[in-house]
Amino acid sequence: MKFSRRIFLGVATGAALAVAMPSIAQTVGKDYTLISPAQPGEDASKIEVLEFFSYGCPHCAEFNPVLAAWMAKLPADVVVRKVPITFGRAAWATIAKLYYTLEITGDAARLESEVFKAIHNERVNLFDERTATEWAVKKGVDAKKFADTFNSFGVNSKVKRGDQLGQAYKISGVPALSVDGKYLVGGQDFNSQLAIADKLIAKARSEKSGKK
């Protein structure tokens, strides 16, 4: 199955620039793409980074521990929000609902790596609601809370909103990162993608403070 048109939006020299010349500004069209129109974040006082992903995407599974390590070092003015999107696939809608259900029950962070492992290493069919429910309960999620949440209006609304964001940000493949609702991050690999994200965070911070 093809999970994306391109895993990363193309950049020929982004990684080398990030390492060798950290003071050089990133290049629009190469290192990042402008999001037009720019999208508002949930908290204007923060620099918001969105990760568009799916539990069903093997590249997202590979990216997850790298992203988690990067997130742990972010300054306080940066917030990362994960957005599962479905690309219109019923199976991916189920695992998007799984993400939001675990988020609401307070188990998303604890079980994030376990979900990826179950799908991609253990071949557990979490695309099936019944199987996903049984798996979550075995992992310590409250059965009633999970059942009440999974098909709730709130979760279905979140899934729909995630897909709307994907369309607004013109996401064609996952994993994908955006910064401050303005920049869609490029990169040849995970490390160069995050190096570019760091530069764009600094750029967004400068713009918020009124600097050029």
Q: Where are the domains of the chain?
A: 14-208
- 167, pLDDT greater than 90: yes
At 27, the pLDDT band (50, 70, 90 cuts) reads: confident
Any idea which of 8-22, 55-69, 91-105, 115-129 has the lowest mean pLDDT?
8-22
Mean pLDDT within 47-69: 98
d(CA 147, CA 145): 6
3 state DSSP class of 184: strand
Pick the CATH number of 14-208 from 3.20.110.10, 1.10.579.10, 1.20.1090.10, 3.40.30.10: 3.40.30.10
**Residues whose CB falls within 8 Å of the CB of residue 8, separated by 6 or more in sequence, listed in order:** 186, 187, 188, 189, 193
Torsion of CA 58, 162, 152, 3, to 10 degrees: -20
**Structure confidence at residue 25 (pLDDT):** 53
| pLDDT class of 209 with cuts at 50, 70, 90 | confident
Instruction: Write the DSSP symbol of residue 115.
Output: H
**HSE-up of 76 (CA within 13 Å, CB side)?**
0
210: left (phi over 0), alpha (psi -120 to 50) or beta: left
Nearest to 131 by CA among 112, 115, 154: 115
Three-class secondary structure of residue 25 per DSSP? coil
Entry pTM: 0.85
pLDDT over 50 at 10, yes or no: no
